[in-house]
């Protein structure tokens, strides 16, 4: 079988690919049958499967979820590893090493703690620590650095670009500012971090995958959107069953 990590790195070299976010083995295998070349975990979807809110799962729960996905399908898996489950760079490094051991082909680290962003210098050191931890394993795992300002209601494009450029210089392989909506802003991000690839969250922009590809975006993810749609359908059917004694 081809090496999933080599496959994943190759996907980031040219073109544009969509990386959907399943939350169980069945979903992962259905996505493979549809022709998707890689998948990603979703912290929100993983939490919902455990009856928790996004951001409430523990490190061990996250690692168990990654093992489930990596062991269930022979596709590259990118880990939504939240903020690394630690504030300090050393803690991030330790946990990133554990994530690599699950078999993931990539993992993302956020610059967010609760409702605040980490101070820029610390955020950069956290990415540098993650890079060093990956390199120490000898595995070719893709490191994705995320800045969360847009998702936190702070749509400052200049600040986001400043952080992404710094993260790229610290060793991130792919850059990601979830929540960016306008194609013009997305083009600026792509140009600022070039030649490194950019990930865009599809659910927070009105652009299509084709338009994002034309703008230079290398990969497109969907976050918890598939899981949210699944739970919406589940709730509607369950409510009909409870109230009307029938199913859709």
Per-residue pLDDT tens digits for 177-230: 999 999 999 999 999 999 999 999 999 999 999 999 999 999 999 999 999 999
Mean pLDDT of the chain: 97
- Report CA dihedral (207, 212, 217, 220) to the nearest 10 degrees: 60
Q: What percent of the chain has pLDDT over 70?
A: 100
pLDDT higher than 90, residue 35: yes
DSSP-derived secondary structure for 55-123: T---HHHHHHHHHHHHHH-SS-EEEE-TTTT-SSHHHHHHHHHHHHHTT-SEEEEESEETTEEPPHHHH
Q: How confident is the model at residue 133 (pLDDT cuts 50, 70, 90)?
A: very high
CA-to-CA distance for 58 and 81, rounded, in angstroms?
11
Nearest to 118 by CA among 106, 130, 132: 130
Q: Record the pTM.
A: 0.95
CB 163 within 8 A of CB 120: yes
CATH class of 4-244: alpha beta
Per-residue pLDDT at 231: 97
Per-residue pLDDT tens digits for 146-185: 999 999 999 999 999 999 999 999 999 999 999 999 999 9
Mean of pLDDT values over 98-113: 98
Look-up of token digits 């620590």: 129
Q: Output the CA–CA distances (angstroms, integers) from residue 175 to 70, 111, 146, 191, in the order listed.
A: 23, 12, 6, 12
Q: How confident is the model at residue 1 (pLDDT cuts 50, 70, 90)?
A: low
147 CB-near residues (< 8 Å, 6+ apart): 110, 111, 117, 123, 160, 163, 164, 167, 176, 177
pLDDT higher than 90, residue 112: yes
At 29 the three-state DSSP class reads helix
Gyration radius from the chain CA atoms: 18
Local structure of residue 203 (DSSP, 8 states) = G
Per-residue pLDDT at 2: 75
């Amino acid at each position: 079988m081809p090496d999933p990590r080599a496959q994943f790195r190759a996907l980031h070299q040219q073109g544009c690919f969509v990386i959907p976010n399943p939350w169980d083995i069945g979903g992962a295998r259905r996505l493979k049958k549809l022709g998707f070349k890689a998948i990603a975990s979703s912290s929100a979807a993983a939490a919902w499967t455990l009856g928790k809110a996004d951001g409430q799962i523990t490190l061990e729960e996250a690692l168990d979820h990654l093992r489930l996905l990596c062991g269930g399908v022979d596709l590259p898996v990118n880990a939504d590893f939240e903020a690394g489950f630690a504030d300090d760079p050393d803690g991030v490094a330790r946990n990133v090493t554990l994530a690599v051991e699950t078999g993931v082909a990539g993992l993302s680290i956020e610059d967010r703690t609760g409702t605040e962003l980490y101070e820029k210098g610390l955020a950069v050191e956290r990415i540098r620590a993650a890079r060093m931890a990956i390199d120490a394993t000898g595995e070719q795992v893709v490191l994705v650095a995320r800045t969360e300002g847009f998702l936190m209601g702070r749509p400052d494009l200049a600040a986001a670009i400043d952080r992404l450029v710094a993260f790229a210089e610290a060793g991130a392989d792919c850059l990601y500012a979830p929540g960016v909506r306008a194609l013009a802003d997305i083009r600026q991000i792509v140009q600022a971090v070039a030649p490194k690839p950019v990930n865009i969250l599809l659910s927070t922009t009105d652009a299509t995958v084709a338009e994002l590809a034309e703008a230079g975006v290398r990969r497109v993810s969907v976050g918890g959107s598939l899981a949210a749609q699944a739970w919406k359908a589940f709730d509607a059917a369950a409510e009909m069953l409870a109230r009307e004694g029938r199913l859709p």
